[in-house]
Structure formats: C-alpha cells, structure tokens
Amino acid sequence: MKLKNTWRKTFGEQQRFMLMLIAPAVTLLILFQAVPIFVGGSASFRDWMLYNPKKTWVGFSQYASVLTDPAFLQIVLPNTFVFMFSSVAISLVIGLALALTLNRPFRGQKLVQTILLMPLMVAPVIAAIMVRWMFNDEFGIVNVVLEALGGEGQPWLVQRWSAFSVIVLTDVWLWTPWFTLLLLAGLQSLPKEPFEAAAIDGTTAWRVFRYLTLPMLRPVIIVCIVIRSIDAFRTFDTVWALTGGGPARETELLSIYAYENAFVFLDFAKGSAAAIIGALIILVVGLALYRILDHVRKMS
C-alpha cells in the first residue's frame, strides 16, 4: 500500500502510463542485455582468464593493453571503418535503386521483389560458408565462370583487396534487401500530389528524384544509415565463417579481434575491453553521423 502511494506521488498519471508501457521491454532489456553487459564490462576491469578467473581488479590496464596494441590501432580499427563505410554505402545505393525500381508497377513486380528479398531468408552463417566455397580458387564457381569467359581466376581469399571485397560483397548481399524493404516502404508512404504535379510539368526523372524523392525520403535514409552502420561495425559471424580475419589479419574486424582474444586466447577481460572500446566508438560515431546527416538535411 505504502509502495503504491509512493509510486503515485512520485509520478504523475501520464508518467505512470509511460512507465507501464515500457515496463516489460525494460525488464527484459535489463535482465538479458544490461546485466550481461554489466558483467562483461566489469570483467574488462579485472584479471579474468577463462581457465583461471581470478577476478582481481586491475583498473584500466586491459584497456591500456588494447589501446597500445599496434594491431588494434593500425589494422583492426581501419579495417572496421573501411568495412562499415563500404558495406553501408554500397548497400544503400543498390538498395535505393532497387526500391525505386520496385516502387512502380511492372509485370512480374512481385516475383522480382520476392527474389530480391532472398538473402533475408538464409542464415548468414550458411551464406558465409557458401560464399567461401564459391570464391575458392580451385572449385569455386566464380573462377570457373571467369575462366570460361576468358578472364583469369584469382586466389580470392589470399589477397588483401580481394578478400576484403569478398567480405564486403557478402555483407552487401545480405543487407541490401533490408535497405530495399525500408526504403520501399518509405517511398510508398510519400504523398502523391507533388509527384503528380511534377508529371504534369514534364519534369525529368532525374530532377524528380533529386528534388522531390530524395529530400522527402531523407529521414528514412538517415535512420537506415545509422542503424546499419552500428550493425556493420559489430559484424562478426559472417566474416568469422568466411575468412576468420585472414589472410594474416587482413580482414580482421573489431568483433573478430574481441572474439579471438576472449574465446580463442581465452582472455575474457581483454576481449571485453576491446568490445567496449568498440561500443564507445560506434556510439559516438553513430550520434555524429546522425547529427551530420540531419544537419545536411536541414541545410538543403
């Protein structure tokens, strides 16, 4: 009874309603995300080898060891940013083009749409293994086709540029449908009148896109870019299955670095510290990205 009174006194009627609305989500998020993250975060300040969890407090020394690791600074972070940028940019462009195409009626539109959504249906790990076989220099279909067309087969997964392209390509393949879906939904919710007016004026397609579609679609695009950038920054399982970070760390991303330290070298503390550093970086980058994109939108 007393508790109920305090609850009523502290929060107004509207605030109580707000809290009730999010209560189940908050509970789940605390139990299954915040608590584990807290445990992981706490581990990053301790001496916590998986086989010998002493759990003694060591302050920021795990963070120091990650931040002074030349491989982390010179290989892992640049790789992660290049991967994030290229994957998001390419899938945005392709996704937007496909959404624009699908936004008008043509024969077979539904079939095309279903086919384009196929990557969403495959488990990413399976897709990654599939791609690994497809790009094998001996039995991969890619080289077979290339050679049949008179080109030269490549040992795709042992050269930096090609291995990196393959992981980006896989990510683009997996996530373009996601962009297409969200952008198509966005396109279909745009008001019809400005487009009808433009059609009457005989405006060219490019100008309609540049001065009507794009500005009106920008809020959706911004949210897509921000969400997808965060996820691309954390990419793990596809790259792990595809290259394992190789050849010789050339495709090592942040999550792979963290995973390898935590679970292959069994240094859970250092792995957690690396992951948390990554989380802080993308937190800031994501916010900055949102601000910049939003600013550009307001300017134009």
Partner 1 sequence: MNTLQRRFFDFFAPGARRISFGLALSVVCFLFAFPVLWLILTSLRPQSGVYYVYRGLDFTLDSFAQVFANERLVRAFFNSSVIATAATIFSILVTVSSGYMLSRFRGPIASGWFGAIYALRCVPFVTWVLPLYFVEQRWGLYDSYLGLLLPHIAVHICFFSWLMKGFFDGIDPSMEQAALIDGCTRWGAFLRVAVPSAMPAISALAVLSWLFSWNEFLFALILTGQHTPVITVVMAQFVSEMGMQWNLMAATAVLALVPAFLLTLFGQKYVIRGLKI
Partner 2 sequence: MIKAKQWAVACAAGLSLLVGSLGSAMAQQKELRIAYQPNPLQEASIDMMLKWGEKNNVKIIKVPNSYGVYVEKMTASLTSGSDQYDVIWHNDDWGQLWAHLVEPLDDVAGLKYADKWSTDPIIFFNKDGKTTVVPMGQTLGALFYRTDLIKESELPKTWKQLVTLSKKLQGEGKVKYGFVGGMDPNSDWNSSLWTLWNNSCDVMKPFGSRDNAVLAKNGWTSAFNEPCMRQVVEFWWDALNTDKISPRGMPAYGRNEANAVFTVGDAAFTVADTTYWSEFNDPAKSKVAGKVGLAQFPIGPMGKNVTLWNELWGWAIPKAVPAERKALAKKMLSDIMLDEDGQLALWKKTGAPPPNAALWSKIAKTDAFMQSLQKYYLDSPHKIHSAYYFANWPAVHKAYNNTVTKAVTGGRSDIPKVLAEGATLVHDAAIK
Query: Which whole-number Å values give the CA distances from 226 to 16, 84, 271, 275, 292, in the listed order?
Result: 31, 11, 25, 19, 11
* In the complex, least distance from residue 26 CB atom to partner 2, rounded to whole angstroms: 15
Q: Which does 156 bind (CB under 5 to 8 A by kind): partner 1, partner 2, none?
A: partner 2
Window contacting partner 2 (CB under 8 A); options: 76-84, 89-97, 137-145, 178-186:
137-145
The only residue of 7, 11, 161, 263 in contact with partner 2, by rule CB under 8 A: 263
Rounded to the nearest 10 degrees, the angle between the axes of helix 214-233 and helix 77-102 is 140
Cβ distance to partner 2 smaller for residue 21 or 205: 21
Minimum distance between the CB of residue 273 and partner 1, rounded to whole angstroms?
Answer: 9
Residue number, 55 or 160, with CB nearest to partner 1: 55
The single residue among 10, 25, 108, 138 that binds partner 2, judged by CB under 8 A, is 138
Chosen residue from 22, 30, 39, 49 binding partner 2 by CB under 8 A? 49
Token pair recorded at residue 169:
């390509």
Does 32 participate in binding partner 2 (rule CB under 8 A)? no
Which residues from 266-295 bind partner 2, rule CB under 8 A? 266
Binding residues among 99-128 for partner 2 as defined by CB under 8 A: none
Cβ proximity to partner 1: between 24 and 59 the closer is 24
Q: Least CB distance from residue 42 to partner 2, whole Å?
A: 15
Residue 278 Cβ, how far from partner 1 at the closest point, in Å?
A: 6
State in angstroms the smallest separation of the CB of 9 from partner 1.
16
Q: Smallest distance, Å, CB 94 to partner 2? A: 27
List the interface residues with partner 2, window 156-185 (CB under 8 A).
156-159, 163
Looking at the DSSP bridge assignments, the partners of residue 49 are 52, 267
Q: How far is the CB of 121 from partner 2 (least distance, A)?
A: 22
* Contacted entry of partner 2, partner 1, none for residue 266, CB cut-off 5 to 8 Å set by kind: partner 2
Q: Could you list the residues that contact partner 2 (CB under 8 A)?
A: 49-53, 136-139, 155-159, 163, 243-244, 246-249, 260, 262-266
